[in-house]
Structure 1
Amino acid sequence: MSFKSTNYITLLLFLIIIEACSKKEEVFETKITSLSVSDITLFTAVFKGSISVIGSDGITDHGFVWSLTENPTLDNNPNKTSLGAINNPADFESKVEGLEANTEYFARIYTINNEGNASYGGSFKFATKDGWNQKQDFSAYATGKLIDGSTSFVIDGKAYVGGGRNLDDNVVLKQCWAYSPITDTWSQVANMIYERQGAVGFAIDGKGYVVTGSYARDVQQYDPTNNTWSKKADFPGEGRFYAAGFAINGKGYVGAGRINSNTQMYDFWEYSPSSDQWTQKALIGEDIFSGIVRSNALGFVINGKGYIGGGVDSNNERLSDFWEYDPSTGMWSKKADIPSIISLAGSFSLGNEGYLVQAASLYIYNPSNNAWKTRTNFKMTSTPSVGFAIDGKAYVAMPYSRERPVWQYNPN
């Protein structure tokens, strides 16, 4: 090969190398194409996303980020779900838990590239459900009158609500009505034997009990099979109203309450329907409540243990302390305070949690971690006087109002 040919080839190779080196590497960005939110409940939602192009800088992590404000970012934000690195365009989704009920959120897809830089898709707004549905109102009960101090119990999938004082006419009532969630209807049943305001209601073995109220000591038992009321052994403590109570494992429990306009109590009693007898139990107070007596307290049962708290003391000051009763030991133990001072609220338990409803606020107690959660923006403006649970759903009714709205709460 001639010297001239060799020089030509060398020059050609040099030019090719120069051209190759002068070409810049092609750069392109990741493309986030969509975000949607589905299967929204009170506390959960499913986020779905799509990435159509993987950028030249790669993706070392991707996922979702959300907050209460528009255009959320990863900066100081614990609300994210990470799905890791991704090498190819893909659709992806994640179920997000721990959201607040009845709350508006903003969510975005995020990606992080090899340089550690974050990119985001567009912001998507959604709102969790509030869990409340309005049911058939109870307007037939003392229509248009202001009612205070009704009571309730549940037997075989129906709730029974009765008693209370018609404040407009200053008349204590003994009517009793049954509510069927299946038909969403109210029907009147036999009147109670005695008119009662501020009584305790509970059910044991297919029969309902209305205990004390209106400063009385009597116990009225309702049998739905024949729609009749009968009198049982009197409550052995002093006659009272606005006591607190519940039923556990075939026994009824009643305590506290007001015995006159100036005196409240903290005694506590157990009722056995099989023997029709009462037995005094550990005081709701002595060396436990630091001597605080109370009336208008709230009570419910979770997993075989009873809970009582709130109410008003002897100075008519509202309380927020909260206590657990274990019938196997007969002892009380103090638990986390209710987040608000509270009295005469609707109360019920669902699953492993207890609930208190005070006007537009819902307080939820979980005994597993001894902690309360607060939900707000409930549509009822007045505090309901009765609450009950049937088949995994709860109902509150009889607010301090001339209207009779009934609301159903579905935690799912």
Structure 2
Amino acid sequence: MNVLLYLKKMKKLLLISCFAALTFSSCTSESTYTQGVWEQRSDFDGVARNDAASFMIDGDGYVCCGYDGDERLNDLWRYNVSSNSWTQRASLPESAARNAAVGFSVNGKGYITTGYNGNTYLKDTWEYDPTSNKWTQKADFAGSGRYYALSFSIGNYGYVGTGYDKNYLKDFYRYDPVNDKWEIMDGTNGMNSFSGQKRRGGSAFVINNIAYVVGGQSNGSYCDDFWKFDPSKGTWTALRDIADNNDKEDYDDNYAGIARERAVTFVIDGKAFLTTGTSGSLKTDYWIYDPATDLWSGDSDDDYTPFKGSARAGAVGFSTGTKGFVVTGGSSSLYFDDMWELLPYEKEED
């Protein structure tokens, strides 16, 4: 990484408004920040792939399934953040191999559901116990079999929705692992239905027990609506669109590049990061969302260094809350096994 380049960019950062600096830190006379240092970490030890699924358990990242250009995969790998190392864990049954599935974790266990096996849109659900290193089949996902759905978890529940089953979808379901039960979120059970666009390949992230849904593609158009879900109220709320469509204000003047599908999202220090994916062309830029202001920053800011790996879609990401990672993914007929960590701020004391 060229440190001199970032030091030069630092000078420009001091000249821009305090609003931009607040996206990352308080404006002070004692500290300055450069943004966007990507560091390569240990290559993924499994075969290169795209459209895998991921989840976090006890600070470790897990990557499962995917497609390597020849076959759908069923293997599971654990990444230990502190040692920067990968370990293979128990695979799903061969019959459960898939790509474009979703993963989430609840109460120390990981879950894989939906996806595609090359012939069938899937709805079987599998639970991984890291203590016993075993998979157990659970109740089928309550919606139709699908791929490119999105997922998140909050508290004692997992949530899965949208996707594609030969039609674009917008339905959402909540999974209760204790009772091994899926419930549709349709307004009849204290959880309102999702009011956004139908989509596949959307992304989700969670900040302070609020979930956010962004991106995806529907009928050839890239979704520019943006929503949050509050599980304590069971309600969805529309936020500002990720598009330059507000003629009365200029906050969205550079928003045209945010919308995309099959992107990676992760959370660092209470802010969301979105990178990679495709909107007709593969992306390497990244964007930061601050829930305190409901604003995105990125792209046109020279102090944001693009993703340093090859442009790709279908990568997976995970976060410890203070560290964010991007791993695997694909580009046309190429499949990747490299891994990158974003260091969003480099602090230099005067």
Is residue 399 of structure 1 aligned with residue 329 of structure 2? yes
Query: Where does 1:284-363 land on structure 2 (aligned, <5 Å)?
Result: 288-289=195-196, 292-313=197-218, 315-338=219-242, 339=255, 340-358=258-276, 359-363=283-287
Q: How does 1:164-179 map to 2 (within 5 A)?
A: 164-167=66-69, 169=70, 171-179=71-79
SS of the residue corresponding to residue 163 of structure 1 reads strand
- Inter-partner Cα distance in structure 2 for 1:79 and 1:249: 37
Residue number among 373, 376, 381 corresponding to 2:310 in the alignment? 381
CA positional deviation for 1:405: 1.2
For the residue of structure 2 that corresponds to 1:148, the secondary structure is: coil
**How far has the Cα of 1:380 moved from its partner?**
2.0
* CA distance in 2 between partners of 1:225 and 1:274 (Å): 17
Aligned residues: 295
1:209 aligns with 2:111: yes
Contact 2:54-2:318 at 8 Å conserved across structures: yes
SS at match of 2:144: coil
Map 1:21-36 onto structure 2 (within 5 A): none
> Which of 76, 99, 119 in structure 2 is aligned with 1:197?
99
Q: Distance in 1 between matches of 2:271 and 2:342?
A: 13
Matched, 1:227 2:133: yes
Q: Check conservation: 1:297, 1:343, Cα contact below 8 A.
A: yes
Mapped partners of 2:181, 2:159: distance in 1: 12
Is the contact between residue 185 and residue 193 of structure 2 (CA under 8 Å) also seen in structure 1? Answer: no
Query: CA distance change for structure 1 residues 100 and 323 in 2, over 3 Å: closer, same or farther?
Result: farther
Q: Are residues 1:248 and 2:154 paired?
A: yes
Query: Aligned to 1:95, which of 13, 27, 30?
Result: 30
Question: Are the equivalent residues in 1 in contact too, given 2:37–2:305 (CA < 8 A)?
Answer: no
Change (3 A) 1:162 1:96: same
Indicate the SS of the match to 2:30: strand
CA separation in 2, counterparts of 1:173 and 1:246? 22
Check 1:136–1:371 CA distance in 2 against 1; reply closer, same or farther (3 A cut).
Answer: same
Query: 2-side partners of 1:254 and 1:236: how far apart?
Result: 10
Contact 1:302/1:351 (<8 A) preserved:
no
Is residue 156 of structure 1 aligned with residue 91 of structure 2?
no
The verdict on how the C-alpha distance between 1:378 and 1:274 changes in structure 2, with shifts beyond 3 A counting, is same
d(CA) in 2 for partners of 1:161, 1:203: 12
1:357–1:383 CA contact under 8 A, matched in 2: no
User: In the alignment, what sits opposite 1:370?
Assistant: 294
* Cα contact 2:150–2:162 (8 A) shared by 1: yes
Deviation per residue, 1:209-240 (Å, 9 max, x gap): 00111111111000011110001111111000
Please list every run of 5 or more consecutive structure 1 residues that lacks an aligned counterpart in the other structure: 1-37, 46-65, 81-92, 102-129
2:267 & 2:12 partners in 1: Cα distance?
Answer: 30
Q: Which moved more, 1:152-161 or 1:358-367?
A: 358-367
Q: Is the 8 A contact 1:67 1:79 kept in 2?
A: no
Tell me by how many angstroms 1:282 deviates. Answer: 4.1
Higher relative contact order (CA 8 A, sep 6+): 2
Identity of aligned residues (%): 34
In the alignment, which residue of structure 2 is the partner of 1:26?
Answer: none
Within a 5 Å distance, the mapping from 1:246-285 to structure 2 comes to 246-260=152-166, 263-282=167-186
Q: Hey, what does 1:87 align to over in structure 2?
A: none
Q: For 2:289 and 2:12, how far apart are their aligned partners in 1? A: 25
Matches of 1:230 and 1:78, distance apart in 2: 53
Distance 1:204 1:393 in 2: 20
TM-score (norm 2): 0.77
The amino acid across from 1:154 in the alignment is M
- Paired with 2:235 and 2:34, the residues of 1 have a C-alpha distance of 35
Are the aligned partners of 1:270 and 1:281 in contact in 2 as well (CA < 8 Å)?
yes
**Aligned-partner Cα distance in 2 for 1:179–1:100:** 28
- In 1, the alpha carbon distance for the partners of 2:6 and 2:155 equals 33
Q: Distance in 1 between matches of 2:59 and 2:272?
A: 19
Please say if residues 141 and 182 of structure 2, whose CA atoms lie closer than 8 Å, have aligned partners that are also in contact.
Answer: yes
Task: Give distance in 2, aligned partners of 1:217 and 1:402.
Answer: 26
In the other structure, the counterpart of 1:187 is 87
